């Protein structure tokens, strides 16, 4: 089986079951990368190198992520994630070097009879382009900032042994509300007014656009037995009026972990590790008591404000507008999973415990890049998007 054929199959199908075998495969891939980059000595071959390795659909790195990383076992996933990140960095480095090497080179290709070609040049000299003029440059696109932040968050949790799960954006009221301990007429439903697609009569079978990614937590626990650790990125919908910080469609990442004897200490430790890995080790983390129907106890999670340094004031004592002078910025809702939720999926709450959390991907992107408004995500302003190349 060739190396490219192996990239299109999960690791389990090609007999890779240990970290040593993964290391050997990636060494072979790195050797192939070096050989391909050494052979790319023209602009056309450099573009071919880019497509072969970094192409979005069928590039080798995309195939690695889809077929090896996502399908890897929980034991191999951290190993594959780390090796894949290293290979990606090396591929991007080699591409940048090749583009710099070939920039400005003039390539001349002569086809057919040379004497005939010379005669055509002499008789039609005025139609020959001036090769001393600047050439046409190829503009490479870039990932959207939301995609960059989502992938960064995924990599942090994958390194901790979490899987990435997906689910439908159109849900039933049962999965969106009831299985999450929010029965019909519960007051918490009014906080998540959404778009209903079909009235099922009794309410349980109503179809609606999901208001959070939490329904995938139920789908995953119905399908898998503990231990389960997963995050769920995706689009969600609520009937919010658009403004600088609200849109009817936005992005969330749900995360949860279920196992024997998971405690509040593990819950706090996991979230503190993630927040400091994402925002920086200098950040302080605070947990405040809160309420969510599907967790008990529940907490709002804050980090120290990056604009005022947690003091509440900037410059010459000017009140900080970002944290409203509190020194803290709310970044997450979380808590220990309510025992009632376990009963809906057939888990024994006497045997298992777990925690869950939810964060707004749009808000994290705004905080990371100091963006004042959500409008930047939808305006398609090339001046804004070019900053993320």
Question: Of the spans 96-110, 197-211, 235-249, which averages the highest pLDDT?
Answer: 235-249
Same domain? For 347 and 266 the reply is: yes
Contacts of 354 (CB under 8 A, 6+ apart): 226, 228, 256, 257, 258, 259, 262, 336, 337
Residue written as token pair 């995924």:
154
pLDDT band, very low/low/confident/very high, at 264 (cuts 50, 70, 90): very high
Same domain? For 232 and 296 the reply is: yes
Crossing angle (nearest 10°) for helices 145-159 and 361-369? 100
Give the count of domains, the chain: 2
- Both structure tokens of 38: 């050494």
The answer to the question of residue 126 being in a domain is no
Whole-number pLDDT of residue 255: 95
The neighbour count for residue 220, using CB atoms within 10 Å, is 20
Q: Looking at the DSSP assignment, which residues form a beta bridge with residue 249?
A: 237
Say if residue 107's pLDDT is above 50. no
Distance CA 52, CA 62 (A): 10
The answer to the question of residue 112 being in a domain is no
pLDDT in tens, 33-59: 999 888 888 888 888 888 888 888 788
Whole-number pLDDT of residue 103: 67
Task: Give the pLDDT mean for 327-337.
Answer: 92
Same domain? For 315 and 179 the reply is: yes
Same domain? For 193 and 333 the reply is: yes
Whole-number pLDDT of residue 302: 93
State the CATH number of the domain containing residue 357. Answer: 3.30.930.10
pLDDT band, very low/low/confident/very high, at 288 (cuts 50, 70, 90): very high
Task: Give the pLDDT mean for 361-365.
Answer: 90
Same domain? For 234 and 368 the reply is: yes
Say if residue 116's pLDDT is above 70. no
The answer to the question of residue 128 being in a domain is no
The answer to the question of residue 168 being in a domain is yes
Whole-number pLDDT of residue 113: 54
Contact 156, 77 (CB under 8 A): no
* Residue 227 dihedral angles phi and psi, to the nearest 5°: -80, 140
pLDDT in tens, 220-255: 999 999 999 999 999 999 887 776 667 888 899 999
Question: Alpha-carbon Rg of the chain, whole angstroms?
Answer: 26
User: Which of 104, 127, 158 is a domain's end point?
Assistant: 104
Please indicate whether residue 202 or residue 333 has the higher confidence score (pLDDT): 333
Residue 60 structural domain? 3-104
Same domain? For 178 and 97 the reply is: no
């Amino acid at each position: 089986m060739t190396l490219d054929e192996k990239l299109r199959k999960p690791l389990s199908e090609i007999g890779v079951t240990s970290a040593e075998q993964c290391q050997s495969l990636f060494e072979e891939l790195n050797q192939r990368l070096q050989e391909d980059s050494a052979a790319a000595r023209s602009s056309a071959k450099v573009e071919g190198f880019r497509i072969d390795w970094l192409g979005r659909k069928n590039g080798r790195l995309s195939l690695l992520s889809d077929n090896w990383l996502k399908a890897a076992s929980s034991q191999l996933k951290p190993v594959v994630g780390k090796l894949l990140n290293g290979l990606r960095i090396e591929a991007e480095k080699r591409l940048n070097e090749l583009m710099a090497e070939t920039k400005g080179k003039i390539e001349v290709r002569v086809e057919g009879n040379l004497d005939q070609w010379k005669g055509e040049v002499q008789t039609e000299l005025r139609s020959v382009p001036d090769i001393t003029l600047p050439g046409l440059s190829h503009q490479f696109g870039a990932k959207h900032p939301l995609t960059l932040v989502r992938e960064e968050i995924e990599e942090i949790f994958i390194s901790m042994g979490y899987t990435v799960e997906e689910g439908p954006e159109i849900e039933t009221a049962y999965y969106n509300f009831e299985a999450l301990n929010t029965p019909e007429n519960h007051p918490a439903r009014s906080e998540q007014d959404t778009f209903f697609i079909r009235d099922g009569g009794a309410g349980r079978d109503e179809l609606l656009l999901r208001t959070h990614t939490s329904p995938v937590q139920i789908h995953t626990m119905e399908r898998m037995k503990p231990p389960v650790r997963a995050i769920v990125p995706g689009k969600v919908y609520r009937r919010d009026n658009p403004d600088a910080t609200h849109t009817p469609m936005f992005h969330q990442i749900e995360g949860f972990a279920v196992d024997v004897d998971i405690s509040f200490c593990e819950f706090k430790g996991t979230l503190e590790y993630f927040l400091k890995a994402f925002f920086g080790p200098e950040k302080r983390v605070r947990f405040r008591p809160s309420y969510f129907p599907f967790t008990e106890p529940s907490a709002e999670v804050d980090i120290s404000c990056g604009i005022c340094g947690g003091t509440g004031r900037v410059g010459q004592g000017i009140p900080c507008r970002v944290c409203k002078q509190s020194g803290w910025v709310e970044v997450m809702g979380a808590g220990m999973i309510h025992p009632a939720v376990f009963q809906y999926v057939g888990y024994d709450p006497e045997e298992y415990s777990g925690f869950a959390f939810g964060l707004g991907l749009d808000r994290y992107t705004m905080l990371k890049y100091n963006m004042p408004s959500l409008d930047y995500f939808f305006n398609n302003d090339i001046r804004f998007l070019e900053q993320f190349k």
